[in-house]
Amino acid sequence: MVQRPQFEEAAAAYANIMDEVRKRAEIVKAAQNPVAQGLIPRPGLNDMCVLQLRKMHEAVALGCIVAHRLIDTAQTKRAADFFRADLIIKSLGKAGLEPYPIPMRRAPDGYMEDTPAPFLDADRFRADYVRCDKFLHVGYVDDREPEIRPVRLGNALDLTNELLGLLRFHRIELASGNAFFVDVPFDDEPVSIHFLDQRKPNGPTAAL
């Protein structure tokens, strides 16, 4: 059973990670500005955007680990303090990324319900991560393999928006069998997390 202090530590860490994703998304959005494109050569902007995408994917994977394993965060102040690449890569490399954020939406009756497909599922999430990683490590722009060349500025923005759409309202399962319900606003409002332990009989989550 999850103890209250343990939940609060994990929730704070998860909120910091989601905020990190938002900040990196802003970098990708800023790169679309003509002023930025006039100051920095396009290949450099492109690499910067793909790097941010890769780091956003790593952050989401770390969030999965924090939520499910309830990593001890008592001695940490910021999410970056306990970034461990081996844990992240191990999570991304599993046959299934578990737990994985489940996108949600508010139903007409005021309850939250799971968002129906299609959405960014775990398989495509992992494939996008691998593609970003290859893009950053295979030669320079014109030398990259054909299947990874399409990661361009506009495409990077589309992938970023798709990832933000997954996270806007979502729940993520805890090892206890309960879940976090997470609200990640698109603006500067703080990320909010609720401990989820009540479900409607037919599936949707109780109103929060």
Residue 129's closest CA among 144, 143, 148, 146?
Answer: 148
> Do the domain assignments include residue 84?
yes
Prediction pTM value: 0.78
> Do the domain assignments include residue 201?
no
The dihedrals phi and psi of 182, each to the nearest 5 degrees, come to -125, 130
> Do the domain assignments include residue 206?
no
What are 182-204's pLDDT values in tens digits?
Answer: 999 988 899 998 877 644 444 44
> Do the domain assignments include residue 16?
yes
> Do the domain assignments include residue 59?
yes
Find the domain containing 182 and state its range.
4-196
Indicate the number of domains in the chain.
1
pLDDT recorded at residue 205: 45
> Do the domain assignments include residue 130?
yes
pLDDT beneath 50: ranges in the chain: 71-82, 95-96, 198-208
> Do the domain assignments include residue 208?
no
C-alpha–C-alpha distance, residues 61 and 195, integer Å: 20
Give 91-152 as a DSSP string: HHHSSS-SS--EEEEE-TTS-EEEPPSPS--HHHHHHHHHHHHHHHHSSSGGGS-GGGTT--
CB count in 10 Å sphere of residue 204: 18
> Do the domain assignments include residue 139?
yes
What are the Cα distances from residue 42, in Å, to 31, 37, 117, 152, 186? 9, 6, 34, 9, 26
Tokens describing residue 91: 């999570």
C-alpha–C-alpha distance, residues 194 and 179, integer Å: 8
CA 202, chain centre distance (Å): 28
pLDDT recorded at residue 199: 46
